[in-house]
Chains A and B, each alone.
Chain A
Amino acid sequence: MEAYADLIAADDVLLFVNAAITATGQREFHSTAAEQQLSLDFLHEYMRVNYRGLYAAALALDINDHNATLIVRHLLESTREATAEQRHTEGRLIARRLALLPPQRVYKLIGELRRRKVNNRRTRAILRDWLAARPDQTLDAVKYRAGLKRALRHAHLRPGHEEVGGFLFASAARAPYRSPLLDAWRRAHYEQSALYDLPYTVAEGFAQRHGIPRGAFLERIAPRMTSLERLRLQESARGHGAAVTTDLTRMPLTRLASYVLGLPAADRLARRAELTEALRAAARRAAGAQAGSWGRVAAVLDDSFSAYGSGVKRRRPLAAALACHYLLEALAADYTALWTTGRTDALLAHPYGPTPLGRRILDALDTAPQRLLIVSDGWDNAPPGLAAEVLRVWRTRLDPERRTSIVHLNPVYDADGFDVRRLAPTVPTAGLRDAEDLPALVEFAQFAEGRTDLGELTSHLAARTERFLAAGEAR
């Protein structure tokens, strides 16, 4: 009986980790945002109540920011249920995770805690430490004005900078500030040149108010943009005749893949050398020391119509597949890519047509690979269930010694199944967010193969937690 409960626990944890890596509560190709959120909320509640320790340990894994803030919120909301020892570990995990999150996510989380009237001593202490660790509070005061104001109010804190209190809370007209950033914000109300000293998101509103033409504004504010803002605005700036340049080779792989897929086919053809080089460079960086060490690899990549995702996550599954393609190319000594549409030019990938996964897997097995990776949302429909049958027959009759290791990576959370969609019980499936995590995921997916031992899984999570916390303390 005990062993049976352990099996279920291990399954639940794996399922939750997959969900926490992929789900963002946004609309997907097959389900609406409301369905996604309802499903995810249930999963969080279920995990928190039943496996609190493992639930908190998920913060140490490569889960996405949306789920990290959800876990933090759920833990802080239910402080009373935790033992003293649990509180200690949770506190360290939360602090470490908050330090890694982008600040806007944390300010949003604080707003959510305020809305839910969560204001226990632990919450206030965690907020205090996080705010104290922010490098420059004047920047936060300008860029996240409402968020910081709410945070200070909620946690009953004094601002860390002498002028910030007046800046946020005093309503009367003010004398010049000594801090240059705060003063730039004050002057930007009437002086156009001052807004170019502000961060891009803040300056954008002032530019609109002063009626500055978009092209001229983008060109002058470019030095103040973050690297992701540059990547995002490059194309629209070009449309306005402004030059916002960015070094593509330094971008993270999956972001870069999304950017490439956002370009029209003609542009991709014209800039083929540049884009390919950037993607390969990013892949080499992600592969690191493992480059070329994976031997003979075949990949089945899904570019069927459902890889389009949805209007709010445009071409996200396809971007994950494209990024995996370049990363595997870097990792493998001998690499074969098989797209479901049968295309051979990865750079021109475009979501189109049905998902004949079964046939593509057959084609991949024909090349006798050492590793086979399948990147797909798991909606195998031409014909349905063929991939599962091919994989089953391959495992049971053609390759019982497991010479080929097969892993399925799924970038899409399936709201109805509370998990990513699986292809076959014989093949482990792992959720995929960024292609950069692929080597770690492939390792983790071994747990999902066959029957998982809870003890082994718990010790793996404990080791990950230790490493995660140690990395924080070393900084």
Chain B
Amino acid sequence: MTTTPAFRLDLAGLDTRPAQVWGGVRLVPLVRAEPLTDLRLHQELYETEYASVPVERRTSYTSYIPHGFVADWTRDGTAAAAYGTQLASTQPADTLPERVRLQPPRRMAKREGRTRLRFLPLHLALEGYLALHFGGPTVAWEQWSQQALRRGLSPRAEEAYSGDQVRGLADALRVFEIHPGQCGVAVYVADALAAAFVVPHPDDYRSLHRSLLLDLYGELIHHYGTLSAPVPDFRADLRSAPVRTLADLRAAVDEQERAWARFHGTTMAAGLLDADYRRRTVHRLGRFTLARFVPDFRPKQENHIGEAITDDTGRIAYLKTFRLSESQVRRGHLLDRLAAHDWHLGRTAAALDLTEPQLGLRLEAAGFGHLLRQDILDHYRKKADGR
């Protein structure tokens, strides 16, 4: 497993098509001119919705897991069949086709054959976020509690909403008209980028379109979905175009479509595409690489975590992102800063332009109060009150 610093998402090969709006939800289709045929995704539905996945000895990951993905690939670049494809006669068979026996998932990503990998979408990314500096303080500075030193951040929990709780998303997905060749979608709720989802092949997209409803969405997106007014359409406008003939009109129409794609790439999705990510490879699948990435945790800005499968040229075959809510960003930011300064409170506080008691209280507010010794925390509180 390697961590490569500073990596950027690049949606090359995916064309942006006009968005479709329903209430407060805007869905932007992403279309591939050439589908990838040597990697295919398939959905696996689990009967039990809660699953516990052992991550290492004594550490387990428990979450709501409505579905898993299965990736199939070929080694020589020939077309792969979607997992579950079976040859059958057209006669109504007495027996049902063979299917996978359901077992509780053993690992986040598990090889299920020489060219088959099962993984839990989004949970890979979330686990990456939860496991961030999970070990706790690396140097036993006096302020840290015994628990922090012995058990690190454990237990660590984060909350998210499933897609059917995001108001309007179910309807928006139902009335969405899938484009020919569509391999992905960017989901905006109240014009905040909630998720980006890309798959290798249009057929995979058609079958996985509904799975967006089973995915996880952050608190921010849930609030926006509940509170937002309907967002307006970006309607085509040819008023400024000089039109004398039908050919001029056609050119103006083409320009409208290009302008929208430009606007989406540079403005609407800028928070996702212009940020630097730290990437961690999880698995290699032939010429493809499954990796998860976390952002630099810039407070008060858009931050996405996610997972991606890229091919040997760096093109994205699969992508799923999760937008962190503001408090999640703050927690990530604090942990990152602490780790960068060897968990020394004073130095970290100085770097953040804070006093040590202020940093202590901020850690407590972020839900990390149990990491500090009780007497130290009381001391910080007293200092803050006395001021």
Please list the residues of chain A having a beta carbon within 8 angstroms of any beta carbon in chain B: 29-30, 304-306, 341, 352-355, 358-359, 362, 365-366, 381-386, 388-390, 392-394, 397-398
Query: Is B260 interfacial (CB 8 A cutoff)?
Result: yes
Q: Once bound together, how far apart are the Cα atoms of A441 and B133, in whole Å?
A: 70
Shortest distance between the CB of B335 and any CB in chain A (Å): 43
Q: A383 contacts B249, CB within 8 Å?
A: no
**CB within 8 Å of A: which of B199-249?**
233-238, 241, 243-246, 249
Q: A389 contacts B243, CB within 8 Å?
A: no
> A354's contact among B179, B233, B250, by CB below 8 Å, is which?
B179
Count residues of B near A (Cβ-Cβ below 8 Å): 28
Note all chain B residues with C-beta closer than 8 A to A304: 177
Indicate whether A382 sits within 8 Å of B18 (C-beta atoms), given known contacts A366-B246, A390-B249, A393-B243: yes
Q: A382 contacts B179, CB within 8 Å?
A: yes
Q: B233 contacts A384, CB within 8 Å?
A: yes
Q: Once bound together, how far apart are the Cα atoms of A354 and B176, in whole Å?
A: 8
Query: Is B378 interfacial (CB 8 A cutoff)?
Result: no
20 sampled A-B residue pairs with Cβ under 8 A: A29-B175, A353-B178, A353-B179, A354-B20, A358-B236, A365-B246, A381-B20, A383-B257, A383-B260, A384-B234, A384-B236, A386-B236, A386-B253, A388-B235, A389-B237, A390-B238, A390-B249, A390-B253, A397-B243, A398-B245
From A341, A359, A383, A393, name the one whose CB has the most chain B CB atoms within 10 angstroms.
A383
Q: Once bound together, how far apart are the Cα atoms of A304 and B176, in whole Å?
A: 11
Q: B236 contacts A362, CB within 8 Å?
A: no
Query: Is B14 interfacial (CB 8 A cutoff)?
Result: no
Query: Is B104 interfacial (CB 8 A cutoff)?
Result: no
Shortest distance between the CB of B28 and any CB in chain A (Å): 11
Note all chain A residues with C-beta closer than 8 A to B257: 383
Query: Is B256 interfacial (CB 8 A cutoff)?
Result: yes
Q: Once bound together, how far apart are the Cα atoms of A341 and B178, in whole Å?
A: 12
Q: B18 contacts A384, CB within 8 Å?
A: yes
Query: Is B21 interfacial (CB 8 A cutoff)?
Result: yes
Q: A381 contacts B246, CB within 8 Å?
A: no
Give me the 8 closest cross-chain CB pairs, A-B, nearest first: A385-B235, A383-B18, A386-B236, A305-B177, A384-B233, A354-B177, A389-B238, A385-B236
Note all chain B residues with C-beta closer than 8 A to A384: 18-21, 233-236
Note all chain B residues with C-beta closer than 8 A to A341: 180
**CB within 8 Å of A: which of B273-294?**
none
Note all chain B residues with C-beta closer than 8 A to A392: 238
Q: Once bound together, how far apart are the Cα atoms of A366 and B245, in whole Å?
A: 10
Q: A355 contacts B177, CB within 8 Å?
A: yes
Q: B180 contacts A362, CB within 8 Å?
A: no
Q: A381 contacts B177, CB within 8 Å?
A: yes
Kindly report which residue of chain A lies nearest to residue B242, judged by CB atoms: A397
**B250-268 CB contact bits vs A (8 Å, 1 = yes)?**
1001001100100000000
Note all chain B residues with C-beta closer than 8 A to A389: 235-238
Q: Once bound together, how far apart are the Cα atoms of A307 and B21, in whole Å?
A: 18
Shortest distance between the CB of A351 and any CB in chain B (Å): 9
Q: Once bound together, how far apart are the Cα atoms of A353 and B250, in whole Å?
A: 22
Q: B233 contacts A385, CB within 8 Å?
A: yes
Q: Once bound together, how far apart are the Cα atoms of A354 and B250, in whole Å?
A: 19
